[in-house]
Structures are given as C-alpha cells and as structure tokens.
C-alpha cells in the first residue's frame, strides 16, 4: 500500500478546523494547536463531555452542518488546515465545501506524522494495550527530568487529559494506531510494539496482511532508533530491537513472580545487567504488568533513572475505562474495561481470577462491530464461557451495517455457561441493581460506558 506523503509544513498555517473534533484523538490535537496560539474550531455530530471541555478552553464547536457557511478566519485556505477523522461521512456539507475549494485536508494520523518529523517520536503500537502503555510511558517521562509531549488515546487519570505538553521536550509519545494503517504515516524514533494479533480484518483482509502492516511499521525506525517488542513477535527492523515478556526467561526484559498481596500488585523484573525486586504497580492486572515491563524496557534504553521509573509506576493511576475501578468495597467490586478483542478479554479475566479467586464474577459484554464479532466469534464465546455469569448486550454497530447471522443471540448460544442472558442497557441496570455481592465487569468499546454512572450510583447507595 502506498502512503501519501504530505508536502506541507505546520508552520505555514495558523488556523485548524476539525471535522469530528469530539473524538479522543482529535480533541488532543485541537488542544495542541490551541496551545500553539492557533485559531481552532470544528464540527462534531453530538455534544459530549469532551466537546464541553474543549468549549470551556476557548475552542469554537458546533453540532450542525454549516455546509459552505464556514466562519472567519477559516475561509482562508492558505492559512487553514482542515483535519478530519474517518468517522465523518463523505457527504458532510462542510467536508464537500473544503474539497471544492481545494483546502489542504489531512487525516489526524498525517498531522501526527508531521509532528513526529519535528521531534523524536516514541510510538506505542499493538492490537492491545496501546492506550494504557502510551499513557504510562508519558507519565513516567513527565515525572523524570527528560519530559515529553504526548497525544493519548484516552483520558489519563493522572493528567485528567489526553494531552501532555512540555514545550522544550525532545520526545513526543504517540499512540500508533493500526486502524486504516494510520501508523504508517508516522516517523518514529523508537517504539513499543505490544502485540500483532489480527484485527480490523475489514480493512486488512486477512491475518497475513495485518502482520505485514506491523512489519512495515517496524521498518520505519531509523538505524539509531530502537524497537521494544513483545517476546515472540519477531518483527524485522533495521533499528536495534529488544524483547520483553512476562515469565519469558529468554526475553531481554522479563517480569516474574507476579502477585497480589495486601491490596498491592507486585512483580520482579530481570533487566540485561541487573534485577528489580518488588516493583509495585499503581494499577493491577497481568496485562498491566506486561505494559509496565515494556515501559521499563524503553526507559532503560532512554537512560531514565530506574528509581524514577519505579516511583512513577507505583503512582500511575491508569486510564479511564481501562481496568477502572468504579466500586471497591469488601462485598462488591465493580470494574469497567474497554476490552473488545478475545485476547483482551482473556487478559482481563485472567487478572480477575488471580486477584479475586474465590469471588463470583459477572461480566456484561457489548460486542463491538459486526465484522469483529464474526471474525473472532469462537474466541469471544470461549472467554465469556469462563465467567460465572455472562450477560451479552446487542452488538454495537459503529460504522457498519448488520451481517446476516452475526448476532448477540448467536454468540449467547455458543457460550458454554449455565448462567447467561441477553439484556438491553436499561435491562442490565435494572437486573444488576438487585445484586449486592461479587465481582462485576462492564466490558466493551461501544456505548456501554453510558450505563457505568448509573450502576456506580446504585451500588454507591
């Protein structure tokens, strides 16, 4: 696949106009350009917490299609950069107007590519763990003397933002997203690659082409850069490469003796020339141990002091909707998680069984995309069967039309669990409101997060 090369400089513009400004990644860019003193405005389909925050920060946002009635100063095409998200419909009047007037229209990933050309980009790529790992890395660097700028794919609990700014920092942390092959537009100096399990097969076609995308990304790194990749990935690259893995003794960086003691999640770490004992993680979970190990490996190569790294890991609060505790009492535990792939489900359930081995576990899962449900149907069924009680919500379609035979009813039939049911969002709230003991999980990448405040309020009372 040929990736378009932009022949522009950000310094040539002073206005940024966003189509789809309320997205998690787009909003971070909007904040970035606002911090540079640019005029920033944009359109989104619906108001949200993020759009309200952006408006309070002085960014003009509207929710109706202005068509050709674009406000000043964004009518000057020589000074205005139009930034779009793939979620924006091609028949949006504003988009068609900008196309007709021959404005420079770029994707979010292309802008990040320009930014990484002007700094040392630290990418975090992988099917799973990108957001938590990149946020963890940004927090560690921010706690050190090195500092960084960072564009995050979630709201950091430490920063309460998806953007980290340190104007003089030489490093920029980027979540390198494989969707739509976006990460191939970046210019990374170094990267963590957490996984390459097939996903987005509606775009890549098959597992081999998906793997090929990650190989192409690994080869974007310069010879003096480096790639930290999960043990067993074996992605070829011209850069220096180092491996990491939990309980992988042959990896360059290995974590072992993972344990949950007195409400503390601990692990020991083997580095190339020394060992770390009792490394404490602020957020628990087997997958977070792996994410932390990857950050340790990258920071080791950046020569960040290990004491600083360990202190930051201990005080890292995580990302909203990633293994996020909503209720934590003696009788009832409620965790909300973004997992939307069988491998992520497995990591979540493995962690819960390690931490709460004697507790009844109920999981509410909202499948995300018809194509993903079809492609990983057996994997979803296998993992959901491990729950003591499985509740499945209707499939969240996002950008897709239904696929015949791909339904939540079919998934429920495949779950080998005596306690299982399909419920709508309102039915989930009503059903769970009668429960007062056990471990409860809401899981998915759609709009399942809308019921989280309701459940939290009910159980808090």
Tens digits of residue pLDDT in 409-456: 999 999 999 999 999 999 999 999 999 999 999 999 888 998 999 999
* Residue the block writes with tokens 């997203």: 177
Specify the DSSP class assigned to residue 289: H
State how far the alpha carbon of 330 is from the alpha carbons of 69, 103, 324, 354, in Å.
Answer: 57, 58, 17, 17
The predicted model gives 384-392 an average pLDDT of 98
Q: What is the mean pLDDT of residues 323-347?
A: 93
Tell me: pLDDT of 225 over 80: yes
Mean pLDDT of all residues belonging to the chain = 93
pLDDT tens digits, 191-216: 999 998 878 777 788 889 899 999 99
Q: Is the pLDDT of residue 20 over 70?
A: yes
* CA pair distance 326, 439, nearest whole angstrom: 11
Q: Quote the tokens at residue 25.
A: 């990644």
CA 173 to chain centre: 13
pLDDT digits (tens, 9 = 90+) for 246-278: 999 999 999 999 998 988 999 999 999 999 999
Residues 398-420 have pLDDT tens digits of 878 999 999 999 999 999 999 99
Cα distance between residue 147 and residue 446, in whole Å: 33
pTM listed for this prediction: 0.82
**Rounded percentage of the chain residues whose pLDDT exceeds 70:** 99
| 30 touches 7 (CB < 8 A) | no
Q: What's the pLDDT score for residue 181?
A: 85
The confidence score (pLDDT) of residue 180 equals 78
- Percentages (nearest 5) of helix, strand, coil residues in the chain: 35, 25, 40
Q: What percent of the chain has pLDDT over 90?
A: 79
pLDDT value at residue 1 = 52
Domains and CATH numbers, the chain: 11-107 (3.40.50.720), 119-315 (3.40.1190.10), 324-460 (3.90.190.20)
Residue the block writes with tokens 């793997």: 211
Under the banding of pLDDT at 50, 70 and 90, the label for residue 169 is very high
């Amino acid at each position: 696949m040929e990736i378009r090369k932009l022949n522009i400089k950000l310094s040539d513009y002073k206005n940024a106009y966003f189509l789809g400004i309320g997205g998690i990644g787009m909003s971070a860019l909007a904040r970035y350009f606002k911090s540079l003193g640019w005029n920033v405005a944009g359109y989104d389909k619906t108001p949200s917490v993020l759009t309200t925050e952006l408006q309070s920060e002085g960014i003009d946002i509207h929710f109706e299609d202005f068509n050709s009635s674009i406000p000043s100063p964004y009518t000057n095409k020589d000074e205005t950069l139009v930034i779009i998200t793939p979620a924006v419909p091609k028949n949006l009047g504003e988009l068609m107007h900008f196309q007709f007037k021959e404005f420079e229209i770029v994707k979010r990933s292309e802008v990040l590519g320009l930014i990484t050309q002007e700094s040392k980009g630290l990418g975090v790529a992988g099917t799973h763990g990108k957001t938590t790992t990149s946020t963890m890395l940004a927090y560690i660097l921010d706690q050190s003397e090195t500092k960084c700028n960072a564009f995050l794919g979630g709201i950091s609990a430490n920063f309460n933002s998806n953007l980290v700014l340190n104007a003089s920092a030489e490093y920029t942390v980027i979540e390198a997203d494989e969707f739509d092959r976006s990460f191939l537009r970046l210019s990374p100096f170094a990267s963590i690659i957490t996984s390459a399990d097939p996903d987005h097969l509606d775009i890549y076609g098959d597992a081999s082409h998906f793997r090929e995308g990650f190989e192409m990304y690994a080869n974007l790194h310069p010879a003096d850069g480096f790639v930290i990749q999960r043990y067993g990935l074996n992605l070829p690259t011209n850069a220096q490469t180092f491996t990491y893995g939990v309980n992988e003794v042959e990896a360059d960086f290995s974590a072992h003796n993972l344990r949950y003691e007195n409400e503390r999640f601990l692990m020991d770490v083997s580095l190339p020339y020394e060992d770390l004992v009792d490394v404490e993680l602020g957020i628990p979970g087997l997958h977070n141990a792996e994410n932390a190990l990857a950050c340790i490996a990258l920071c080791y190569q950046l020569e960040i002091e290990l004491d600083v790294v360990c202190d930051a890991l201990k005080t890292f609060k995580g990302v909203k909707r990633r293994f996020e505790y909503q209720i934590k009492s003696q009788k009832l535990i409620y965790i909300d998680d973004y997992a939307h792939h069988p491998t992520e489900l497995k990591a979540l359930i493995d962690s819960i069984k390690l931490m709460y081995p004697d507790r009844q576990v109920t999981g509410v899962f909202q499948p995300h995309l018809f194509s993903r449900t079809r492609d990983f149907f057996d994997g979803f069924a296998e993992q959901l069967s491990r729950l003591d009680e499985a509740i499945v919500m209707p499939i969240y379609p996002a950008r897709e039309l239904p696929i015949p035979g791909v339904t939540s009813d079919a998934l429920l039939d495949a779950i080998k669990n005596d306690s299982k049911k399909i419920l709508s969002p309102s039915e989930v709230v009503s059903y769970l409101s009668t429960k007062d003991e056990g471990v409860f999980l809401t899981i998915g990448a759609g709009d399942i997060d809308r019921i989280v405040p309701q459940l939290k309020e009910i159980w808090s009372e």
